[in-house]
Amino acid sequence: MHEAGLITIYLSQRVIDEIALVVVNKLPTAVGRLWKILQSPGLVILADSSESGPLTVNEQDRPIVATAIDANIEYFVTGDRTLLTECRRLGLDQPQFVSPRELLDLIEASP
């Protein structure tokens, strides 16, 4: 669906930096593939929010959550169960905080 232009993926610069650090240190042979993915037309890299983020979210993830909220994205996807719980407690209508499995279920259920 991403390749068909039906999904736009938004990543904060902070997340890109974390991914790059892991790939460079743990899987250096994949750096070229990562660079190619980051050049995808359906990928939007967001500047980090100037907001500090919700205080109920752990300090390290606050800027990422604030960036997602500021960007008014539809879904915030995380495999971090603690972060998912913290974000759901915010009670926001948007973004909808989901696990990767939940996002796949939503995609499969859509017409």
Question: For position 58, what pLDDT does the model report?
Answer: 84
pLDDT of residue 2: 46
User: What integer pLDDT is reported at residue 49 of this predicted model?
Assistant: 84
> Residue 27's pLDDT is what?
93
Average per-residue pLDDT for the chain: 88
The residue among 81, 98, 85 whose CA lies nearest residue 109 is: 98
Question: Residue 4: what pLDDT?
Answer: 54
Which parts of the chain register pLDDT below 70? Answer: 1-5
Q: What is the pLDDT of residue 28?
A: 93
